[in-house]
Amino acid sequence: MSMEKRISMAVIRRLPRYFRYLSDLIRLDIQRISSKELSERMDITASQIRQDLNCFGGFGQQGYGYNVQSLNEEIAHILGVDRRFACILIGAGNMGKALANYENFRRRGFDITAIFDIAEDKVGTQINGIKVHHIDTMAKYLHRHPTDIAMLTVPNRTISDITDTVVKAGVLGIWNFTPTDLRLGDNVVVENVHLSDSLMVLGYRLNELRRNREAQGPGSV
């Protein structure tokens, strides 16, 4: 068992958001913040914020608020952004290129060390200074360069060979942009990113907004 108290995934999924907002406050030179003020900025209820932050120690003081810097550092530590992760990117298509060019990832501790693709015209080129290798050389590369995370931006049909190779090579995390939810057992963590899901939720909310407006009649804007 781990010594650290197990924090629920629902709380964990909110932590990056706290981290972003607190980082903004630091840039604005704000040193203390109450749960009420943070609540207004983040559009989360103050009680939810107090409950979340209590999960890992409760840094707030009644009538004083939270120390922005130390709260941010603690969240960074819990999230592990003070550590570095070696990553490979599989798939040098448009999404692969977009990810390889995200400077934010490196700042958050995620270093893309190599890119793999099957297309001969991409192999040997560089994206944002990172070399594209042929996918057939991936197993060998992973053997020589211990890697934490594989970012997957390839078509569905090629997935299973690729996940076999990376999991056998000891990669522990998969960031999955393919349309299929990957489930690879308890020895690998997978974060599935489904952009279509997010867009469908937007479509739903837009229809709901429209229905509510129509119900309010033509006078409403």
Q: Which is nearer to a second copy, 28 or 221 (CB)?
A: 221
CA 200 remoteness from chain centre: 20
Min dist CB 63 to a second copy, Å, is 28
Q: Given the complex with a second copy, which of 139 and 202 has the nearer CB atom?
A: 202
Nearer to a second copy, 41 or 140 (CB): 41
CB-CB contact of 77 with 104 (8 Å)? no
Q: How far is the CB of 104 from a second copy (least distance, A)?
A: 5
Beta bridge partners of 127: 130
14-32 burial, b at 16+ Cβ within 10 Å, e below that, comes to: bbeebbebbeebeeeeeee
Strand partners, 58: none
User: Of all helices (H) and strands (E), which one includes residue 117?
Assistant: strand 110-117
Beta carbon nearer to a second copy, 35 or 153 = 153
Radius of gyration of the chain from its Cα atoms, rounded to whole angstroms: 21
Question: Smallest distance from the beta carbon of 211 to a second copy, in angstroms?
Answer: 5
Q: What DSSP string runs through 165-199?
A: HHHHTT--EEEE-SSSPP---TTSEEEE--HHHHH
Nearest to a second copy of 68, 174 (CB atom): 174
Q: Distance between CA 185 and CA 109 in Å, rounded?
A: 25
Q: What minimum distance in Å lies between the beta carbon of 64 and a second copy?
A: 26
157: left (phi over 0), alpha (psi -120 to 50) or beta: alpha
- Site for a second copy, rule CB under 8 A: 1-2, 4, 12-13, 15-17, 19-20, 42-43, 78-81, 83, 85, 93-95, 97-99, 101-102, 104-105, 108-110, 148-149, 172-173, 175, 179, 181, 183, 187, 189, 191, 193-212, 215, 221
Q: Which is nearer to a second copy, 62 or 156 (CB)?
A: 156
Rounded to the nearest whole angstrom, what is the least distance from the CB of residue 65 to a second copy in the complex? Answer: 21
Query: What is the closest distance, in whole angstroms, from the C-beta atom of residue 54 to a second copy in the complex?
Result: 18
